[in-house]
Amino acid sequence: MATLEVPCRYCSQTKSVRKHGTGANKAQRYCCLNCRKSFQLDYTYNAYHPGVKEQIVDMVMNNAGLRDTARVLKVGFNTVLRTLKNSNRGK
Protein backbone atom coordinates (compact mmCIF):
# COMPACT_ATOMS: atom_id res chain seq x y z
CA MET A 1 0.00 0.00 0.00
CA ALA A 2 1.34 3.37 -0.98
CA THR A 3 1.45 5.98 1.74
CA LEU A 4 1.03 9.63 0.90
CA GLU A 5 2.72 12.06 3.24
CA VAL A 6 0.49 15.12 3.39
CA PRO A 7 1.92 18.23 5.05
CA CYS A 8 -0.51 20.30 7.08
CA ARG A 9 -1.56 23.48 5.29
CA TYR A 10 -1.34 25.52 8.50
CA CYS A 11 1.49 24.07 10.61
CA SER A 12 3.26 21.99 7.85
CA GLN A 13 3.61 18.88 10.01
CA THR A 14 3.32 15.57 8.17
CA LYS A 15 3.05 13.11 11.07
CA SER A 16 -0.17 14.50 12.53
CA VAL A 17 -2.32 14.54 9.37
CA ARG A 18 -5.15 11.99 9.09
CA LYS A 19 -7.87 11.45 6.52
CA HIS A 20 -11.08 13.29 7.41
CA GLY A 21 -13.85 12.22 5.05
CA THR A 22 -14.64 13.78 1.71
CA GLY A 23 -15.78 17.26 0.81
CA ALA A 24 -17.88 18.49 -2.09
CA ASN A 25 -17.07 16.73 -5.40
CA LYS A 26 -15.74 13.79 -3.34
CA ALA A 27 -12.37 15.43 -2.74
CA GLN A 28 -10.41 13.90 0.12
CA ARG A 29 -10.32 16.07 3.24
CA TYR A 30 -7.52 15.87 5.79
CA CYS A 31 -7.46 16.73 9.47
CA CYS A 32 -4.38 17.84 11.38
CA LEU A 33 -4.28 16.44 14.91
CA ASN A 34 -1.69 19.02 15.92
CA CYS A 35 -3.58 22.24 15.13
CA ARG A 36 -7.08 20.66 14.87
CA LYS A 37 -7.76 22.20 11.45
CA SER A 38 -9.05 20.40 8.37
CA PHE A 39 -8.25 21.09 4.72
CA GLN A 40 -8.20 19.64 1.22
CA LEU A 41 -5.32 19.37 -1.23
CA ASP A 42 -7.44 20.40 -4.19
CA TYR A 43 -10.38 22.77 -4.19
CA THR A 44 -12.93 23.40 -6.92
CA TYR A 45 -13.30 27.11 -6.09
CA ASN A 46 -10.24 29.30 -6.67
CA ALA A 47 -10.64 31.46 -3.56
CA TYR A 48 -10.09 28.46 -1.24
CA HIS A 49 -6.57 27.82 -2.55
CA PRO A 50 -3.78 28.91 -0.20
CA GLY A 51 -2.42 32.36 -1.01
CA VAL A 52 -5.41 33.69 -2.97
CA LYS A 53 -6.68 35.82 -0.06
CA GLU A 54 -3.26 37.48 0.22
CA GLN A 55 -3.25 38.02 -3.55
CA ILE A 56 -6.63 39.79 -3.35
CA VAL A 57 -5.32 42.22 -0.70
CA ASP A 58 -2.10 42.81 -2.69
CA MET A 59 -3.92 43.53 -5.94
CA VAL A 60 -6.38 45.96 -4.38
CA MET A 61 -3.59 47.72 -2.46
CA ASN A 62 -1.75 48.18 -5.79
CA ASN A 63 -4.69 50.09 -7.22
CA ALA A 64 -6.47 47.29 -9.08
CA GLY A 65 -10.22 47.72 -8.99
CA LEU A 66 -12.40 45.41 -6.93
CA ARG A 67 -14.14 44.01 -10.00
CA ASP A 68 -10.81 43.72 -11.87
CA THR A 69 -9.42 41.66 -8.98
CA ALA A 70 -12.45 39.39 -8.97
CA ARG A 71 -12.23 38.87 -12.73
CA VAL A 72 -8.48 38.18 -12.86
CA LEU A 73 -8.37 35.79 -9.88
CA LYS A 74 -11.65 34.10 -10.93
CA VAL A 75 -13.28 34.62 -7.54
CA GLY A 76 -16.62 36.22 -6.70
CA PHE A 77 -16.96 39.97 -6.21
CA ASN A 78 -18.39 39.45 -2.74
CA THR A 79 -15.36 37.30 -1.87
CA VAL A 80 -13.13 40.27 -2.68
CA LEU A 81 -15.26 42.56 -0.50
CA ARG A 82 -15.35 40.08 2.39
CA THR A 83 -11.60 39.44 2.24
CA LEU A 84 -10.86 43.18 2.39
CA LYS A 85 -13.33 43.71 5.21
CA ASN A 86 -11.76 40.91 7.26
CA SER A 87 -8.16 41.92 6.56
CA ASN A 88 -6.59 44.59 8.72
CA ARG A 89 -5.14 46.41 5.70
CA GLY A 90 -8.54 46.98 4.11
CA LYS A 91 -9.64 49.56 6.69
Our finding on whether 32 is near Zn ion (CB under 5 A) is yes
| CB of 22 or CB of 34, closer to Zn ion | 34
Residues 33-52 contacting Zn ion, CB under 5 A: 34-35
Burial class (CB in 10 A: 0-12, 13-18, 19+), 75: buried
Distance of CA 56 to the CA centre of its chain: 12
Choose, by CB under 5 A, the member of 6, 7, 10, 81 that binds Zn ion: 10
- Bridge partners (DSSP) listed for residue 40: 29
| CB of 1 or CB of 5, closer to Zn ion | 5
Our finding on whether 6 is near Zn ion (CB under 5 A) is no
Beta strands, E only, the chain? 17-22, 28-32, 38-40
In the complex, the residues that contact Zn ion under the rule CB under 5 A are: 8, 10-11, 32, 34-35
